[in-house]
């Protein structure tokens, strides 16, 4: 069976080398004619490309040429043609944030891994977090806070000691970043149907920025965060190294460290 694919590659030396190898192994076509898209790069490049081309409604197969490559597949030249015929697909939806800045400008942005609210000045941020009219936390003094999807729960969220979420959990993790008051608040796991509203309680003295993966909006007054289930990302993984397995491995590592 002829594989009709389109390759989108980062410009690094390693990425271009992998792309050169792939061009000799598979049939390349235009983006519109491809049955799926191969992305060669790291996690950051993968996130950037997914956001740019998700409207094409094509499955994406990532090949890691970066550092960790959690969203990517390892590249084995000798196994590639065999593995590419037995791929598993998972479908995920991103977070959507609607920000209102200090000048009341509104902006919509999506985040596949997480959305974080981070202090802009030397002073800690003072924020509130609500689920509609009910407070999740009324007043948090911290370096910020982040909301993570299950797919992103092993990224920045894990680095700030947030929980790892099962890919099928239908949950979101709300995790504080270096909390000062209350120190013992570890965050909260909520349903993926939750509409989260975060408000900066001291806009003038303690400005904050909102970041969706690697896209930043400055001087935020408030932000509404929710899952956008109308947007679907279809990700392809090698049968032996699915995203489910990667998350499970990270969960076991965390449990081992806590013993």
- Which are the catalytic amino acids? 43
**CA-CA distance, 109 to 113, in Å (whole number)?**
13
E strand intervals along 132-243? 134-142, 144-148, 171-177, 188-191, 196-200, 208-212, 215-217, 220-227, 233-237
Three-class DSSP category at 30: coil
Smallest CA-to-CA distance from 207 within 127, 130, 128, 137 is with: 127
- Pairwise CA distance, residues 224 & 24, whole Å: 47
Contact (Cβ atoms closer than 8 angstroms) between residue 61 and residue 36:
yes
Which has the closest alpha carbon to 163: 177, 152, 173?
A: 173
What values do phi and psi take at 73, rounded to 5?
-105, 145
């Amino acid at each position: 069976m002829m594989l009709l694919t389109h390759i989108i590659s980062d410009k690094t030396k390693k990425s271009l080398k992998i792309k050169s190898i792939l061009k000799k192994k598979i049939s390349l076509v235009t983006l519109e004619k491809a049955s799926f898209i191969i992305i060669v790069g790291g996690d950051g490049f993968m996130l950037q490309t997914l956001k740019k081309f998700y409207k094409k409604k094509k499955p994406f197969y990532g090949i890691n040429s970066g550092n960790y490559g959690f969203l990517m597949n390892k590249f084995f030249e000798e196994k590639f043609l065999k593995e590419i015929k037995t791929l598993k697909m998972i479908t995920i939806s991103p977070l959507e944030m609607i920000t209102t800045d200090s000048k009341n400008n509104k902006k919509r942005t999506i985040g596949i891994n997480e959305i974080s609210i981070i202090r802009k000045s030397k002073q800690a941020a003072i924020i509130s977090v609500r689920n509609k009219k009910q407070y999740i936390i009324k007043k948090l003094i911290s370096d910020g806070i982040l909301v993570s999807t299950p797919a992103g729960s092993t990224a920045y969220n894990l680095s700030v000691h947030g929980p790892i979420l099962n890919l099928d959990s239908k949950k979101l993790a709300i995790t504080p970043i270096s909390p000062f008051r209350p120190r013992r608040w570890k965050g909260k796991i909520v349903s993926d149907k939750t509409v989260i509203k975060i408000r900066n309680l001291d806009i003038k003295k303690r400005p904050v920025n909102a970041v969706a993966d690697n896209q930043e909006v400055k001087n935020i007054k408030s932000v509404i965060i929710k899952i956008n289930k109308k947007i679907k990302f279809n990700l392809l993984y090698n049968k032996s190294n699915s995203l489910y397995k990667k998350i499970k491995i990270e969960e076991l590592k965390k449990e081992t460290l806590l013993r």
